[in-house]
Amino acid sequence: MTDNKSSEGKKTISAGTVIFIADVSDALKVLKAVQHEARKATTALKELEEQQNKNMSSPRQLPVKPRRNVYIRS
């Protein structure tokens, strides 16, 4: 059904109404789960970066190997 309306010299023609209903609850749950995991990963990366910066700022110490008792027989 076409409806012609005139208000202040403008015409509006309506050909009908389209109703779109979508269930996006599952998609929202998945997106929230992805967001949660991304936050956890970001937190872990920040902690790793802080630890690396801390290690780089302190003097580097190499691990000391224990000496074995070596006896020379003559």
Matching residue, tokens 């050909």: 15
* Chain centroid to CA 43: 10
Question: What is the identity of the amino acid at 32?
Answer: K
Question: With a threshold of 0.85, does the pTM exceed it?
Answer: no
Q: What is the pLDDT along the chain (74 residues), one digit of tens a residue?
A: 445 554 567 777 777 888 878 888 999 999 999 999 999 999 999 999 998 888 777 666 666 666 676 666 66
Please say whether the beta carbons of 2 and 13 come within 8 A: yes
Exposed e or buried b per residue across 3-35, where buried means at least 16 C-beta atoms within 10 angstroms of its C-beta: eeeeeeeeeeeeeeeeeeeeeeeeeeeeeeeee
